[in-house]
Amino acid sequence: MTPARSDVKSSHSGSPGDDCVEVAVAGQAVHVRDSKDPARPPFAVGREGWAPFVRFVSGASGA
């Protein structure tokens, strides 16, 4: 049996009901899903790729 993921919505998403990306860490993967379509399966990103992605989108990539 696969344990349930605990999806977390960004604190920048605003008030309840606002649509946002949600993430959940499970093992060596970060699962990403769209909160406005929770029935759709999330896609998984390796943990080694997640940190550089977050730095890039936050503008802290150093590039």
Q: Nearest to residue 45, comparing CAs of 60, 59, 33, 55?
A: 33
Q: How many separate domains does the chain show?
A: 1
Please name the amino acid found at residue 12.
H
Q: Would residue 51 count as lying in a domain?
A: yes
Give the count of beta carbons closer than 10 Å to the beta carbon of residue 30: 20
Q: Would residue 63 count as lying in a domain?
A: no
- pLDDT confidence band for 2 (50 / 70 / 90): low
The residue segments making up the domain with residue 24 are: 1-7+18-57
| CA 55 to centroid of chain Cα atoms | 14
Q: Would residue 31 count as lying in a domain?
A: yes
* Global confidence as pTM: 0.67
| Residue predicted with more confidence, 49 or 62 | 49
Please name the amino acid found at residue 20.
C
Q: Per-residue pLDDT tens for 10-21?
A: 676 666 666 688
Q: Would residue 12 count as lying in a domain?
A: no
Residue 22, strand partner residues:
9, 33
Contact 41, 32 (CB under 8 A): no
Q: Would residue 62 count as lying in a domain?
A: no
